[in-house]
């Protein structure tokens, strides 16, 4: 089975994330979307809310599983027998950052990272931009899947 891990904080899930996952299911037998837990980071949405956003967005896609994890991503890949890490790239800065992580992961565990370019229509969207729009009472709904709704 070709299983890929798509790790992130998903604070919140964006249309960019959604696009990468939808396209990734065509490449892999299963995608495990996993929310990394970092106690030192301050999130806008709780872990349970972020997990629910992803689960609702992919409730009709049996090839997508949603989990959480702590620690090194490569260790979690071993734990769930994922041979690939899936990542999205929006711009050259993303590539440089992700390339360094991919090289490190491959050195630590021989895991391959697969990069997908974001669709042009979502390439400007980031979770930090969405959080900024939410904080300032803007229309964030055009940047996220329907499963992401702020109370």
Residue 40 pLDDT: 82
Question: Which position among 26, 41, 110, 151 bears the catalytic label?
Answer: 41
**Among positive and negative, which fits the CA dihedral 27, 117, 136, 37?**
positive
pLDDT band at 5 (very low <50, low <70, confident <90, very high): very high
Long-range interactions of 140-145: CB distance < 8 A, separation 24+: 143/14, 143/15, 144/12, 144/13, 144/14, 144/15, 144/53, 145/13, 145/15, 145/18, 145/53, 145/57
Question: Which position among 17, 50, 51, 87 bears the catalytic label?
Answer: 17
Question: How far apart, in whole angstroms, are the C-alpha atoms of residue 134 and residue 143?
Answer: 11
Question: Which position among 3, 56, 90, 106 bears the catalytic label?
Answer: 90
Kindly tell me if the per-residue pLDDT of 151 is higher than 80: no
Q: 112-117 and 84-89 as β-strands: parallel, antiparallel, unpaired? A: parallel
For residue 123, indicate whether it is catalytic.
no
For residue 127, indicate whether it is catalytic.
yes
Gyration radius (Cα) of the chain, Å: 15
The mean pLDDT of the chain is: 95
Domain map of the chain by residue range? 3-142
Residue 39 pLDDT: 77
Q: Which SS3 state, helix, strand or coil, does residue 146 take?
A: coil
Question: Which position among 34, 50, 51, 127 bears the catalytic label?
Answer: 127
3-142 has which CATH code?
A: 3.40.50.620
For residue 17, indicate whether it is catalytic.
yes
* Whole-model pTM over 0.85: yes
For residue 103, indicate whether it is catalytic.
no
């Amino acid at each position: 089975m070709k299983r890929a891990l798509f790790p992130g904080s998903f604070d919140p899930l964006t249309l960019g994330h959604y696009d990468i996952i939808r396209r990734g299911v065509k490449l892999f037998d299963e995608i495990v979307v996993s929310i990394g837990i970092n106690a030192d980071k301050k999130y806008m949405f709780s872990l349970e809310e972020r997990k629910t956003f992803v689960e609702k967005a992919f409730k009709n896609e049996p090839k997508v599983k949603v989990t959480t994890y702590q620690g090194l991503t490569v260790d979690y890949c071993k734990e769930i027998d994922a041979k690939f890490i899936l990542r999205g790239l929006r711009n050259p800065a993303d590539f440089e950052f992700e390339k360094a992580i991919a090289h490190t992961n491959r050195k630590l565990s021989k895991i391959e990272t697969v990069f997908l370019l974001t669709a042009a229509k979502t390439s400007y969207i980031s979770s930090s931009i969405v959080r900024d729009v939410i904080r300032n009472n803007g229309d964030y709904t055009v940047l996220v899947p329907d499963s992401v709704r702020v109370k």
